[in-house]
Amino acid sequence: MQYQRICVLGLGYIGLPTASTFATQGLQVVGVDINPQVINTLRNGGLHIHEPGLRTLVQAALVSGNLTIADRPQPADAFIIAVPTPFLEDKKADMSFVISAAESILPVLQPGNLVMLESTSPPRTTVDLVAPILEHSGLAAGPDFHLAYTPERVLPGQILRELIENARVIGGIDRASAEAGRDLYTIFVRGQIILTDATTAEMVKLMENTYRDVNIAVANEFSRLADRFGVDVWEAIQIANLHPRVKILKPGPGVGGHCIGVDPWFLVEAASDLAQLISAARQVNDSQPEFVEQLVRRALSVGNSSEGLTGKRIALLGLAYKPDVDDLRESPAIELARRLKAAGAEVSAFEPVKPAAQVPGVRTLPGLEETVRVADLIVLLVLHSSFLNLVPAQVAGLTPARLVVDAVNGFDRQTWESAGFRIFCLGNGKNNR
């Protein structure tokens, strides 16, 4: 199939890079978003999200005239749905954006069109949810128009490169739909393109992120066990990973972001009787901030006689969900900040990648100096490069705090201790007692 004009619904972390990349490859692309602020920002040359290289790419796409921004779909050869699928309080997928995006295509859907779903979705969404909606047009999915699912698999921070280089799986509701999808993505994808059915492609995506979540959960559980047994989990992991078939991931304050902490729930929701390990892993990762809180209490009890948090001044370094990104969504650091505050501590936080971040319930400050100025204890929560470059002797001059909880094994114990700090590293049972 040949494509000249496409329509991308949802201009977020996936939709905007995808729309811009197609536009710079010469396609006429209409980027659609329902949020007027997003539309205004983009039309005025701004950008509402941060991703390395994205500003240049979007500007090139807009200046070429190939990318235009609209508030509703327009007739096109192909439609790509890249709207969010958040989860609700009860851990069930919120499919309302997918539903309304599919409905918004109805007035312009033509025979021969291709509709691609990219949003991470529970198994069978393409077949059981999206196809019936689109068929309200009077056209039949398969005979009259193509319908396929292709998951995005790009890593935030490296989206532009991975969009092009990663292997891409395209699952059609029939073979012709998968092939139509391949013809579209071949325009810019350099990685292998694998064709399958729609539900397999949905499941592949959920399996990838679930696999990672379960592996992080086991690392986090090891950190708890090591703490109890007087073992340094970081040393133990390093040694275990010398085994040719073992690759343990890193413990930390928990799993954040909009993908790994969310997607496994889609499998739990779809088959709670079967997905028991997956559910347990989620609970381990979700409760990891609580484990860090206990370490904070223990550290404070060393300098004091009680583990109480009331009135304790705690400075948090890092609020992003992972190193060197400005994304604060579902961040375990924020969960910890709220927990400490609820327990009576005076919490201040500094996020160097997004110094002006406003987080409800958390007192954020724009610089390191003001964050640690009156602290009793400092907690390192994100392995940002700028934190790794801190000089402990200089930090000692900025703060009265001499207790540090390192939740990511980022600070070199020797240099920090020789500058007068006492370090409590997550999962280091040799030193945390």
Site residues (vs ligand SAJ, CB under 6 A): 152-156, 208-209, 212, 216, 249-250, 252, 255-257, 259-260, 321-322
Out of 7, 91, 205, 341, pick the active-site residue: 205
Tokens of 284: 């381990």
Tell me the residue length of the chain: 433
Cβ proximity to ligand SAJ, 3 vs 211, nearer residue: 211
Cβ proximity to ligand SAJ, 121 vs 371, nearer residue: 121
Tell me if residue 58 falls in helix, strand or coil.
helix
The span from the CA of 368 to the CA of 401, in Å, is 13
Write down the least CB distance from residue 264 to ligand SAJ, Å. 11
Cβ proximity to ligand SAJ, 79 vs 222, nearer residue: 222
Cβ neighbours, 10 Å, residue 262: 22
Cβ proximity to ligand SAJ, 247 vs 433, nearer residue: 247
Tell me if residue 333 falls in helix, strand or coil.
helix
The distance from CA 118 to its chain's CA centroid, rounded to whole angstroms, is 16
Write down the least CB distance from residue 80 to ligand SAJ, Å. 16
Write down the least CB distance from residue 216 to ligand SAJ, Å. 5
Out of 91, 250, 259, 312, pick the active-site residue: 259
* Whether 205 is catalytic: yes
Write down the least CB distance from residue 17 to ligand SAJ, Å. 12
Write down the least CB distance from residue 156 to ligand SAJ, Å. 5
CA 35 vs CA 54, 65, 104, 253, 300: distances in Å: 19, 22, 14, 33, 46
Query: Number of C-alpha atoms within 13 angstroms, CB side, residue 90?
Result: 4
Tokens of 369: 């100096």
Tell me if residue 372 falls in helix, strand or coil.
helix
* Whether 341 is catalytic: no
Query: Number of C-alpha atoms within 13 angstroms, CB side, residue 301?
Result: 11
Radius of gyration of the chain (CA): 24
Cβ proximity to ligand SAJ, 256 vs 429, nearer residue: 256
Residues that are catalytic: 205, 259
